[in-house]
Structure 1
Amino acid sequence: MNLNIDFKEKFESRHIAPDQEATTQMLSQIGVDSLDELIQQTVPAQIRLKEPLNLPAAKSEFDYLNDLRQAASKNKVFKSFIGKGYYDNITPPVILRNIFENPGWYTQYTPYQAEISQGRLQALLNFQTMVIDLTGMEIANASLLDEGTAAAEAMFMQYSLRKNQKANVFFVSEDIFPQTIDILRTRSAPYGIELLVGSHETVELDDRMFGAIVQYPSGKGIVYNYSDFASKAHALNIKLTVVADILSLTVLTPPGEWGADIVVGSTQRFGIPMGFGGPHAAFFATKDEYKRSMPGRIIGVTVDSSGNYALRMALQTREQHIRRDKATSNICTAQALLAIMAGMYAAYHGPKGLGNIAGRIHGLASLLASSLEELEYKQLNLTFFDTIRFDLGNLTGPIHAEAINNLCNFDFNGSEVCISLDETTSIEDVKTIVRFFAKVKGRNLNELNFEDLILGVSSRIPAELERSSTFLTHPVFNDHHSEHEMLRYIKSLEAKDLSLCHSMIPLGSCTMKLNATTEMIPVTWAEFSKIHPFAPTDQVGGYMQILSELNDWLSEITGFAAMSLQPNSGAQGEYAGLMVIRAYHADRNDHHRNIVLIPSSAHGTNPASAAMAGMKVVVVKCDENGNIDVEDLKTKAVQHKDDLSCLMVTYPSTHGVFEESIIEICEVIHENGGQVYMDGANMNAQVGLTSPASIGADVCHLNLHKTFCIPHGGGGPGMGPIGVAKHLVPFLPGHTVVDINNDHSIPAVSAAPWGSASILLISHAYIAMMGAEGLTNATKYAILNANYIKSRLEDHYPVLYSGSMGRCAHEMILDCRSFKSAGVEVTDIAKRLMDYGFHAPTVSFPVAGTLMVEPTESEPKHELDRFCDAMIAIRAEIEEVLTGSADKHNNILKNAPHTSAVVTADNWDKEYSRQRAAFPLPYIAERKFWPSIGRVNETHGDRTLICSCPPIEAYSELEA
């Protein structure tokens, strides 16, 4: 008997949900005979790839993890004393298991729908409170990408706030980490900002300067008293940014107490692995008067429809989707998951615990300094927190060799060595270091009377800079110090949030697909998580293999010559791509080329990124079908041909259509001297079927947190690598610390050479396990699932745009504008969907009054049907309002979402039943998700902005 056995487990069948029976049923509903027929009707023939992707054969999950173990073994996990903004630490296991490794936290979406996001909003409010308390500032945001880019955001905020419009000089302390200075160079160039790098002790401040930036403690580890410098700066209307080590602020006087206007830094020390550079949550704190100029997201306190305490993202009018090229920042992704972990780390340890960690590190650093001074090494840092610096003279070589022999990495610079201690440093580590420093001088550790040195340890922090103010006094930082209490607190917040654990999240343009467990597992392996981004190259062979393979695979998928893996968000990828184009034109002496054409339908980050890159935006019209108006494009391309830099285009379009004129569009731009930048937000509909390069693009960023399975994490991490054509390769971003530079590299766009390197493992795993056929099928099924939903809903909701054959790409826009005549807003539909157990599709983007739906290939038919059933039921509820059988102002949509407290209250004054409010369809009772609050009051929170945890007694005032 022929057993007909499939001898290899296919990951593809785990990732792509519909089976053959479901596929047949969906194709029948759509009205086609095969999946290939659907693709032929959807993707224009002229752009379809002629050959399949050339990728390695797909691996099973088991085989992939075994092979990755071999690659991981090529990474050497040394004790890292390099510092420079990256430090080993201990992630509390209760946080590691229940947040970092928990899909209930890492598969959440950005908390735009506050009623089903109260858990992560509270966790992010805790983070903001932590930052405000430790920095001594008045307001903080809910995280930025990394320390270097946060400093750059601070520079630009100072520039935008300057009173003297002629001031264009920014003073930069030479003692700032070199990677931060590198990013400041990148960000300052398009605006003509002149960087003056020098000593804060000798610089002559003047009215040409709008801002200054210093580091605390300095990049060399010295604890300077900057109060006089701050006073001199303020006397000249120069605002001061301080890059601060957040752990040091538990023992050092916070910058807000001695004159800082802005304080930025990284929270990586608070339980976040180094991960070869990330992801890590940066912080940004400032004065309340600057809140409307502050970049990033702010979580604010408000009330819900019942007057109860509620949270939401505040001051949304600052966001780039609204302000577009007038935005102060292009930030779209934060580092929410990492910020949540950092806030929980602070809550778990509390003020006393954090102070003990900082005190222990400083004590060990002081002990090491005393010991080496006793050995007659020349100490260069008279004051310090965790970093000591010695002049080794002619002993640099022997010390370096001994460090390597003892599996230690130091930061060497000529004859100087910096040694930075961290939470994982033990007294045995200090003894090991002293032992080999003694050996080089022919001495013995026993000669030093080490026990006496321990007893004689004293603080090296200047007395006037020792912290005296209290911090983290709120109960959230003082009530969860046992593991049981912390576990329950984490779970109580998780229970308030809807994630992919509960249901599909049908967000158009956001691609909330499966984040497979196997893809996530390696991120926490020590061989990847405990590697410093500036570790010697001969210690990171495993990472180099992974990055090289990922570069090759993404190049094959996009059709480009090479990738830069450095940008650590999609918006940063946009910016990096535009800066590469800018450098290309400058290299050809076309400095004047600064016009960028952007369709009116584009993501708000597109014009914001263009403005940051020093370009002038010219908007191109879209026709009534949502496509780029080719004639308008031609007119404007010719009109600006002498100054045309590029076109920014999303493909498929933001409207969810494969525009058939795309090749012509690219040719028009090239004929007029420009480059084509493709926004890769919709690569989920391209992979394996077409590619940016084959269409005619010159550069494209990839949202790895969309198409390539890095989870959204409640609003980040994201990754935005860029692929470029051959002529742009020389201009890809370089780095000042690690040599990854090409002939004409632009300076760094992120603090670490390969951005948030540790999560690149996720995309590497996804591609390796899917293989060429699997990736192509994923794209086909993304298109199938979208068109299935379209076919089920188009009789109930008009679908705004479609291709020439009536097909959508991987997403569609449902037109809800006609309901407004009866007072039903698209927001009402979004809130009502919560009662059905779903997150809303994308609301009012790219067209106001619409919903943009994207199901992804990971959703099975029965889940698509659940969503469609919900949308059809809601349409019937809308009809009741339209016909007048339900009150225009008091109906089931306007009152949504319905919380358990409302539904079970003694008083029920609604015209519809409790059953209909909470359980409108039979399936809901089996897996009911209850929103934890009623509809949030959007304006209340902006009128009275509170962005830190209010004291318990204030909760009753909020409800008043």
Structure 2
Amino acid sequence: MKTDAFALRHIGPRENDLQIMLKTIGAATLDQLISETIPGDIRLKTSLDLDPAMTEYEYSKHISELGNKNKVFQTYIGLGYNQAIVPAVIQRNVFENPGWYTAYTPYQAEIAQGRLEAILNFQTMVIELTGMEIANASLLDEGTAAAEAMALLFDVRSRDQKKDNINKFFVSEEILPQTLSVLQTRSAPIGVELVIGNHETFDFSTEFFGAILQYPGKYGQVYDYADFIAKAKSNEIKVAVAADILSLAMLKPPGEMGAAVVLGTTQRFGIPLGYGGPHAAYFATKDEYKRSMPGRIIGVTVDTDGNRALRMALQTREQHIKRDKATSNICTAQVLLSVMAGMYAVYHGPKGLKYIANKIHALTATLSNELEKLGLQQINTAFFDTIVVKADAKKIKSIAEQNEVNFYYIDENTVSISLNETTSIADVNKIVGVFASANNTQAGTIEVLTETNHFPSNLKRTTPFLQHEVFNKHHSETDLMRYIKKLERKDLSLNHSMISLGSCTMKLNAAAEMLPLSNANWNNIHPFAPLDQVQGYQKMLSKLEHQLNVITGFAGTTLQPNSGAQGEYAGLMVIRAYHQSRGDYHRNIALIPSSAHGTNPASAAMAGMRVIVTKTLENGNIDVEDLREKAIEHKDDLSCLMVTYPSTHGVFESAIKEITQIIHENGGQVYMDGANMNAQVGLTNPATIGADVCHLNLHKTFAIPHGGGGPGVGPICVAEHLVPFLPTNPIVATGGDNAITAISAAPWGSALVCLISYGYISMLGAEGLKSSTEYAILNANYIKEKLNGHYDTLYSGEMGRAAHEMILECRPFKQKGIEVTDIAKRLMDYGFHAPTVSFPVAGTLMIEPTESENLEELDRFCDAMISIRKEIEASTIEDKNNILKNSPHTLGMLTADVWNFPYTREQAAFPLDYIAENKFWPTVRRADDAYGDRNLVCSCAPIEAYMEE
């Protein structure tokens, strides 16, 4: 046995566990189990054609050598991306800490209080810097946040505007080019007409419902937008402003000018460039628009005892409720990155942010003055951190690159320079030296900075920000380290116990996959750096695309979509472009099974498609006859079928090839949702089942950690006829010959975390990937059989097997007065995060153990579920004061002088022996969702509130 094989580290069950598990399942071999689970006609006949698996050491050496092919220059390109300093205390204690990066989305609030507080800090920071009323818990990037702003403003049009079908949206020509490209992608399918122009000559006609401005402009000019916004408002035009968040420490916030939405990126708040991502976008708006706001909002509520608790608010906005009526399909946020950005604000506080902003501005002003002394013209009349210089761009570029410096070259006579937090006086001297050399002159040495503000006094910020105590006390490393640890202890992550969420695949995120993310050769590169400086990235990304092509059986891949929902949307937009290329503009019907993930119909609506829901049979499978009828009925207009495989019910449907054939026979394309790809890799693939395009959740199947609700990556893989339509980027061309416009802001999306999936595939190799899938199916079926007799499994395959997940029936427990939520909360007392609650079937639990959990952990979980089942049996519908209804039990309850419960403290907190060894204490009792929605508070209370207390 190769004891250094990565598969041995990644896959949980040991060799001697296998026979025990197979005996429980009732299968002689693993091969027998797989043949009873996956239909024979879709099984792969050969192994995946991938390079031999590397050991962890070999991969570490390989990725280091590949990283050395990247050239890390001092980069002043700007355009929404800036080098930033990641405080070491945040890098070590958040970015590199599995206690933070392996947590799941905080749907179970009681065991996510630390993360929720960190995100609340982020929301508070955004609200106060932008001057707005409400902010969400982060979005994917600035480009997609701008598209969400456009969609929100379209949704909240006045009654008259909707009646008159007012659909024009003004886009300032100052907008970032990648943002414009995303707006172009998102606008057409929903019926919005973009009008791009100069905001200073805009006529404010009544044909417009909204507008978007850039602050400062794309090349750094700072405009006073107050008059524009006032005129727009008087014409019922609502204005969104894309703002540089660091500039708002010095500049007047857009909220004070009357903006309806303010958005942007928080990348420069201590988040690495990472060749484009992941970074946390921010989005703030007015309270009156909260029901149309995309993404998640963290709100303050109370728990059962009336104590302060945090939770995700207004969850009725989620696509699972609204489905195709939703205004956004956003599912993943960038939580890990928003935690980092929030902690950056906590660490620096208001004085620190002002100091950083003032220093950058002073450096920029000094640079402008020195270049003008050389006789060069600097054309920005008001600026924060970016200047525009008239010079011979070709000559400057040559000398700059010899000095390992990158500028942005607007045209052959114009150079843009954006300074950042890492810039020093020495760097400014170097920049001046480049221009002096190009001019054949000698530059003096700068020793002191210019103090003058280079923007009008009426645009100077006068309002305070970050007054809350949390931003004013943790400024030493000791304090911040302890604050981060205090919050981490309130959260249950994978470093504590299994998180068995169906459809979410919470597997091991191996340290060997994660470590390269901290290397400057990978994390300190601008997404628009010249291609000859990023050969390491280009080789890695190209190889990852090839690996995903091999795994899916498809011909082409784009890594640009930076979430699963973005991948869904990208897949549908590629299908749309394919139909249009053939003149089939009328093909707009998307058939979607009723069991589909809620993002599916939301994505279809955003792609301009009309959703027709197909029926599901009693056994959970797609009703093939109903599908056939609807495909034939709509054959002239059929665009696609959206299908999840294996199904959302955890079953490999044997009719899948018939289903895909029906769609093709009626002129449609087949989009496969890759949420359950962890049951396919190495055993079958989307091409074999007859799909044309699939998205993959790299944050599920391919080991990118969930990070508390993001980052995610959702690339799409496509058949050969769809390759020409893969998306491009306006600055660095990507995609096919007939590429659609951008899906997200950066050319390769969240490129930095693609390293994780590259490492995962490279270290597992073909056999390791196949074994991972087999063991995922083994572990799921082991749990299914262990719980048999205690819980019914709602759906099984034709031979009684589950795929990689199963749904447990919990609805009959209502006869005992017990809801599925009670089971979820009681599991916390046993040290486990609940499985997926009430999806895809209300009142059920969907369990997915993944391949990374060993037999001992599976048994602990099963013992907990069986123990809870006995507690359910002992309950009565009249008894509201029982152990399940009162869960979770906090340390405060257990140590209180008074105990008014009809069971012992030991039964409450230590119902099984294993718990005492590694007890996890929820820090609040059950959060009151209804109270929180009625009394929505989504920021830290001002410091005065604490002083009054």
TM-score per shorter chain, which class? over 0.9
Q: d(CA) in 2 for partners of 1:345 and 1:204? A: 41
Describe how 1:30-179 pairs up with structure 2 within 5 A.
30-163=25-158, 164-165=161-162, 166-179=165-178
State how many pairs are aligned. 944
Q: Which amino acid aligns with 2:277?
A: G
SS of residue matched to 2:625: helix
| TM-fit CA distance, 1:888 | 2.4
The answer (yes or no) to whether the contact 1:298–1:315 under 8 Å persists in 2 is yes
Residue 557 of structure 2 corresponds to residue 563 of structure 1: yes
CA deviations on 1:665-716 (whole Å, 9 max, x unpaired) are 0000000000000000000000000000011000000000000000000000
Q: Which amino acid aligns with 1:374?
A: K
Partner residue of 1:407?
404
| TM-fit CA distance, 1:442 | 2.0
CA deviations on 1:165-209 (whole Å, 9 max, x unpaired) are 211110000011100000000000102211110100011111110
Q: d(CA) in 2 for partners of 1:370 and 1:413? A: 21
Residue 337 of structure 2 corresponds to residue 338 of structure 1: yes
Partner residue of 1:439?
437
Partner residue of 1:3?
none
Q: d(CA) in 2 for partners of 1:204 and 1:57? A: 63
Q: Which amino acid aligns with 1:433?
A: I
Partner residue of 1:426?
424
The answer (yes or no) to whether the contact 2:816–2:873 under 8 Å persists in 1 is no
Q: Which amino acid aligns with 1:69?
A: S
| TM-fit CA distance, 1:436 | 2.1
Q: d(CA) in 2 for partners of 1:817 and 1:81? A: 59
Q: Which amino acid aligns with 2:383?
A: F
Q: d(CA) in 1 for partners of 2:348 and 2:325? A: 42
| TM-fit CA distance, 1:889 | 1.1
SS of residue matched to 2:201: coil
Describe how 1:35-434 pairs up with structure 2 within 5 A.
35-163=30-158, 164-165=161-162, 166-392=165-391, 395-414=392-411, 415-434=413-432
| TM-fit CA distance, 1:455 | 5.8
SS of residue matched to 1:586: helix
SS of residue matched to 2:672: strand
CA deviations on 1:254-307 (whole Å, 9 max, x unpaired) are 000011110000000000000000000000000111111110000000000111
| TM-fit CA distance, 1:456 | 4.7
| TM-fit CA distance, 1:443 | 1.4
The answer (yes or no) to whether the contact 1:333–1:717 under 8 Å persists in 2 is yes
The counterpart of 1:602, out of the listed 592, 596, 606, is 596
| TM-fit CA distance, 1:400 | 1.1
Describe how 1:695-774 pairs up with structure 2 within 5 A.
695-774=689-768
Q: d(CA) in 1 for partners of 2:798 and 2:945? A: 58
The counterpart of 1:831, out of the listed 814, 817, 825, is 825
Q: Which segment is superposed worse, 862-871 or 397-406?
A: 397-406
The answer (yes or no) to whether the contact 1:898–1:931 under 8 Å persists in 2 is yes
Q: Which amino acid aligns with 1:389?
A: V
Q: d(CA) in 2 for partners of 1:346 and 1:859? A: 37
Partner residue of 2:789?
795
SS of residue matched to 1:730: helix
| TM-fit CA distance, 1:742 | 1.9
The counterpart of 2:668, out of the listed 668, 674, 677, is 674
Partner residue of 2:906?
915
**Identical counterparts, % of pairs:** 65
| TM-fit CA distance, 1:461 | 1.7
Q: d(CA) in 2 for partners of 1:455 and 1:479? A: 30
User: Which stretches in structure 1 are left out of the alignment for 5+ residues?
Assistant: 1-5
CA deviations on 1:773-830 (whole Å, 9 max, x unpaired) are 0000000000000000000112101100000110000000000000112210000000
Q: d(CA) in 2 for partners of 1:280 and 1:436? A: 31
Cα 1:750–1:456 shift into 2, 3 Å: closer
| TM-fit CA distance, 1:844 | 0.3
SS of residue matched to 1:312: strand
SS of residue matched to 2:874: helix
Q: Which amino acid aligns with 2:859?
A: D
| TM-fit CA distance, 1:396 | 2.1
CA deviations on 1:717-762 (whole Å, 9 max, x unpaired) are 0000000000000000111110114221100000000000000000
| TM-fit CA distance, 1:457 | 4.0
SS of residue matched to 1:445: coil
SS of residue matched to 1:95: helix
The answer (yes or no) to whether the contact 1:734–1:746 under 8 Å persists in 2 is yes
Q: d(CA) in 1 for partners of 2:942 and 2:905? A: 35
Q: d(CA) in 1 for partners of 2:894 and 2:342? A: 33
| TM-fit CA distance, 1:955 | 7.1
The answer (yes or no) to whether the contact 1:801–1:813 under 8 Å persists in 2 is yes
Q: Which amino acid aligns with 1:246?
A: I
Residue 646 of structure 2 corresponds to residue 652 of structure 1: yes
Q: Which amino acid aligns with 1:611?
A: A
Q: d(CA) in 1 for partners of 2:416 and 2:945? A: 47
The answer (yes or no) to whether the contact 2:44–2:683 under 8 Å persists in 1 is yes
Structure 1 segments (4+ residues) deviating >3 Å: 454-457, 951-958
Q: Which amino acid aligns with 2:866?
A: I
Q: Which amino acid aligns with 1:132?
A: I
Partner residue of 1:862?
856
SS of residue matched to 1:210: strand
The answer (yes or no) to whether the contact 2:275–2:524 under 8 Å persists in 1 is yes
Residue 30 of structure 2 corresponds to residue 26 of structure 1: no
Q: d(CA) in 2 for partners of 1:957 and 1:656? A: 53
Q: d(CA) in 2 for partners of 1:413 and 1:957? A: 54
The answer (yes or no) to whether the contact 2:574–2:740 under 8 Å persists in 1 is yes
RMSD (CA atoms): 1.1
Q: d(CA) in 1 for partners of 2:52 and 2:3? A: 12
Q: d(CA) in 2 for partners of 1:314 and 1:654? A: 26
Describe how 1:837-916 pairs up with structure 2 within 5 A.
837-882=831-876, 888-916=879-907
SS of residue matched to 1:593: coil
The answer (yes or no) to whether the contact 2:294–2:327 under 8 Å persists in 1 is yes
The answer (yes or no) to whether the contact 2:467–2:942 under 8 Å persists in 1 is no
| TM-fit CA distance, 1:954 | 4.5
The answer (yes or no) to whether the contact 2:425–2:446 under 8 Å persists in 1 is no
Q: Which segment is superposed worse, 616-625 or 946-955?
A: 946-955
The answer (yes or no) to whether the contact 1:231–1:259 under 8 Å persists in 2 is yes
Q: Which amino acid aligns with 2:726?
A: L
Describe how 1:452-491 pairs up with structure 2 within 5 A.
454=448, 456-491=450-485
The answer (yes or no) to whether the contact 1:8–1:60 under 8 Å persists in 2 is no
Partner residue of 1:494?
488
| TM-fit CA distance, 1:416 | 0.7
| TM-fit CA distance, 1:952 | 5.8
Q: d(CA) in 2 for partners of 1:440 and 1:179? A: 30
With normalisation by structure 1, the TM-score equals 0.98
CA deviations on 1:53-100 (whole Å, 9 max, x unpaired) are 110000000000101111111100000000000000110000000000
The answer (yes or no) to whether the contact 2:76–2:419 under 8 Å persists in 1 is yes
User: Which stretches in structure 2 are left out of the alignment for 5+ residues?
Assistant: none
Q: Which amino acid aligns with 2:897?
A: D
Q: d(CA) in 1 for partners of 2:948 and 2:661? A: 62
Cα 1:8–1:828 shift into 2, 3 Å: closer
| TM-fit CA distance, 1:444 | 1.0
Cα 1:484–1:456 shift into 2, 3 Å: closer
